[in-house]
Amino acid sequence: MMCGMAVVTPVMPVQAAEADQQLKTVVVKDAAEKDPLNLNENNGYQGTKTRIGKVAQDPHDIPQGVTVLTRELLNDQQASSLKDALRNVSGLTFNAAEGGRAGDNINLRGFYSFGDLYLDGIRDTAQYNREIFAFEQVEVLRGAGSMLFGRGQAGGVINMVSKTPKLKDANRVTASVGSNGYQQATGDFNKKVGDTTAIRVNVMKRGEGSFRQNVETGTQPTIEREGIAPSISFGLGTNNQFTLSHYYVKTDDNPDFGISFANKLPIDANIGKFAGNKSTFDRSETHISTLSHLYRFSNNTEVNTKLRSSHIKRDYIAAKPNANGTTFTSSPVNRSIDVNNLAIQSDISHKTTLSGMKHELLAGVEFLNEDGWRSSMRNLAQAGSPASAGIYVPGIYNTTAPITYKGDTYSVFLQDQVEFVKDWKFLLGVRHDDMKAKYSNVPNLNYSTQSYRTGLSWQPQDWAHYYLAWSDSVSPTADLNQTSGGFYPPERSQVTELGAKWLFMEGDLALRTAIFRADKQYERNTDLESSAGILTNKRRTDGIEFEVAGRITPKWNMFAGISLMDPRITEVAQNRAANGTITNTDPRLQGQITRNTPTYTYNFWTTYAFMPKWKAGLGFDAKSERYAYSPNTANANNSFTNGVFDPNKAPAYVRWDGMLAYEEKNYAVRLNVYNLTDTDWYESIYDNGGFVVPGMKQTAVLTTELKF
């Protein structure tokens, strides 16, 4: 918010005015802070500002689909993890932990997106479970985003926005208890310590059990997490701002690998049975330190620079149920990772007028150093012990050489959006990336490539925006230590989108819709330790989306989305091994629906203040059935029955949630009930189609909140 000045002239009777000729004009100065780093405060469910396009923008003005999950929406739903938040995003599904990718593993518009996660615009690809206690909002830029962000996929970019200090004293503390041992405490403390300096600290501790348990030991899958995120900002409200922050999360979970399929469907009789035991665990520590600098030369020109160092260390051993699903002695999956990343990026934006046309210029440079290490823990059990009774200790690893990856990426980009005639804008951007990567067990990879973004916008009124956009993405599949060496060209994707965005209710309610086509070639999805090649030569998703967010009335908030998709394999893979051996994938897969991609998804959430201080909420998450199979093998994981495509599948579902809250100025009490109808539903699917993870049964969480 820009500091302003208003002049107020006193209103007096004529006689008084004549008698008080000496009265001076009263000058009122607006001292509200000028801080573009704090987004969407007090805007309800409608995101009105984002930096996902590298500069502070209204999502309404971006010629591409953008979904913003605001803090008020996340608070009302009592969302704790990134996965909780992303259930509000239509067209999105979750993958389970196949191949060492346990953590936030996402499909968007039918394409895997685990390499497209960002924190404050900086790549955040390590596989860990993200807690959102320190995030102000979560943003999704739909479609290919390589021009803005570098290597990536066709589905979109997911960006988490950190909470940053504000020039006021404000504190919020919550305590929650609920079903299955749910307990959570959070704190958000902001202190102004000078005219332009403030400190903010966010803390969290959470524990959670499950309705699932081991039938022999009583062990449950559990979540035990804690974190702290301190930050300090200097120069708030000025043209020269610095912010130093750190994000730390520690986890000690017992991971859930789900249940098996039988007769092409999940074994519902086993939905409450857990394959893990007291020896399985998922322990990690995440450290992310960031120094940000925002400098304004003028209202039209600013430079935004960030330096980040991150370290993620993780050890886990998980248990898979037997393939027949009849017994639950476990087959352990054991991984250890250690990831260190260093990122430096600087963007400059400038607004100017040339030859009578308005230009919005954006340019930037980036450097990313990645250093990844993978191994497994050593089984310390005595000889002759049952195979399922392993003893594993973090820090004691196998004697075999670890798998390593080191990479340096240098990037430069330039973009211009020009208003060439009134109400019409044309956007064009280009990016160049150079990457040099070293692997311990496959050939090193060097690549140099360009990415593009273009769009045509028509905004005849402030409340209406119509656009046609095209973007592409490229990836040498170096994300998360994944590559196939030089056997294939890089993955490439192209996305075309025709969309419209409208603002109603004097701007309080945003509605958007888009139709899109996304094509992808040479898709890989295997880990570095796997010898498999690619999944499909070509894939396509055609779709249409609708989304509404904001206030219908001052008492009535809504956030909802619909995504209808037709995802197909358009050309099957021809896998090439290092020795030159070629394996053809089942040709009958051509034209079939891709895995873990529902043909429809619906999400809906609304709250209404039905009495003074009382608010009720109701919503649902719905998905069509999703196929679970591997499209990378000669027999497609037995996905054909009598010549008919009939793979494993997770059934369609509708999960209803509700909320009731009593809110005073300084405190609130809120009851959230998830899965109101106690429906059996399945949250995530394994890449190879062997397992599926059940979602929560009916769960209640009571939260008390104190503001001071």
C-alpha 199/C-alpha 273 separation (Å) is 46
Classify residue 76: in a domain, yes or no.
no
Q: DSSP assignment of 276-302, as one string?
A: --TT-EEEEEEEEEEEEEEEEEETTEE
Distance CA 690, CA 323 (A): 8
- Return all residues near 125 (Cβ < 8 A) that are at least 6 apart: 114, 115, 117, 479, 480
Residue 188 CB neighbour total at 10 angstroms:
20
Q: Total structural domains in the chain? A: 1
Tell whether 147 is covered by a domain. no
pLDDT of residue 61: 96
Q: How confident is the model at residue 557 (pLDDT cuts 50, 70, 90)?
A: very high
- Residue type at 248 in one-letter notation: Y
Q: How far is CA 449 from CA 362, 472, 641, in A?
A: 20, 12, 43
Mean pLDDT, range 393-415, rounded to an integer: 90
Question: Contact 153/125 with Cβ under 8 angstroms?
Answer: no
Q: How much is the CA Rg of the chain, to the nearest whole Å? A: 26
Domain-embedded: residue 125? no
Amino acid at 203: V
CB 454 within 8 A of CB 434: no
Residue 684 inside a domain? The answer is: yes
Does 431 map to a domain?
A: yes
| pLDDT 10s digits, 647-704 | 999 999 999 999 999 999 999 999 999 999 999 999 998 877 788 999 999 999 999 9
445-461 and 464-475 strand pairing: antiparallel
> Rounded CA gap, 583 and 191, in Å?
62
Pick from 222, 217, 246, 244: nearest CA to 233: 244
Q: Give 478 or 353, the one with higher predicted confidence.
A: 353
pLDDT in the model for residue 482:
60
The pLDDT of residue 3: 39
Per-residue pLDDT band for 581 (boundaries 50, 70, 90) equals confident
Of residues 311 and 443, which shows the higher confidence score? 311
Contacts of range 667-671, beta carbons closer than 8 Å, 24 or more positions apart? 667/704, 667/705, 667/706, 667/707, 668/704, 668/705, 668/707, 669/702, 669/703, 669/704, 669/705, 670/76, 670/78, 670/702, 670/703, 670/704, 670/705, 671/700, 671/701, 671/702, 671/703
State which amino acid sits at residue 408.
D
Strand, coil or helix: what is 182? coil
Q: Which residue has the tokens 């790549």?
A: 123
pLDDT exceeds cutoff 50 at 37: no
Which domain CATH number covers 194? 2.40.170.20
Assigned domain for 90 exists: no
pLDDT by residue (tens digit) across 256-268? 888 988 889 999 8
Please classify residue 463 by burial: count the beta carbons closer than 10 Å to its beta carbon, then call 0-12 exposed, 13-18 middle and 19+ buried: middle
Mean pLDDT calculated for residue range 377-398: 73
Neighbours of 384 (CB within 10 A): 5
Residue with tokens 């248990």: 319
Of 230-239, 345-354, 680-689, least confident by mean pLDDT is 680-689
Calculate mean pLDDT across residues 405-415: 95
C-alpha–C-alpha distance, residues 4 and 125, integer Å: 42
Question: 44: closest CA among 540, 510, 536, 633?
Answer: 510
Helix or strand run (H / E) with residue 85: helix 82-86
- How far is Cα 140 from Cα 86, in angstroms, rounded to an integer? 9
Q: How far apart are CA 153 and CA 239, in angstroms?
A: 36
Q: Is the pLDDT of residue 291 over 60?
A: yes
Is residue 235 predicted with pLDDT exceeding 80?
A: yes
Measured from the Cβ of residue 496, the count of other Cβ atoms closer than 10 Å reads 15
Mean pLDDT confidence for 225-240: 97
Question: What's the confidence (pLDDT) of residue 34?
Answer: 39
Identify the residue with better confidence: 388 or 474: 474
- Percent of residues, the chain, with pLDDT higher than 90: 64
Instruction: Say if CB 242 and CB 35 are below 8 A apart.
Output: no
Q: Is the pLDDT of residue 623 over 60?
A: yes
Which pLDDT value is given to residue 104? 79
Q: Where are the beta strands (DSSP E) in 355-396?
A: 357-375
Q: Give DSSP secondary structure letters for 4-36.
A: -EEEE-----HHHHHHTTTPPPEEEE------T
Return the amino acid letter for 489. Answer: P
Q: Which of 88, 80, 178 is nearest to 133 (CA)?
A: 80
pLDDT at 527 over 70: no
State how far the Cα of 184 lies from the Cα of 192, in Å rounded to an integer. Answer: 27
How many whole angstroms separate alpha carbon 524 and alpha carbon 244? 37
Pairwise CA distance, residues 35 & 456, whole Å:
30
Report how far apart, in Å, the C-alpha atoms of 315 and of each of 253, 285, 591 are: 11, 10, 40
* Overall average pLDDT of the 497-506 stretch: 96
**Taking all residues of the chain, what is their mean pLDDT, rounded to a whole number?**
87
Vertex 160: Cα angle to 154 and 164 (nearest 5) = 155
Are the C-beta atoms of residues 39 and 59 closer than 8 Å to each other? no
Per the structure, the complete domain to which residue 190 belongs is given by 162-707
Instruction: Please tell me the predicted confidence (pLDDT) of residue 9.
Output: 39
Place of tokens 């009122």: 28
pLDDT band for 530, please (50, 70, 90 cuts): very low
Q: Is residue 188 part of a domain?
A: yes
| Cα-Cα-Cα-Cα dihedral sign, residues 146, 148, 154, 160 | positive
Provide the whole-model pTM: 0.90
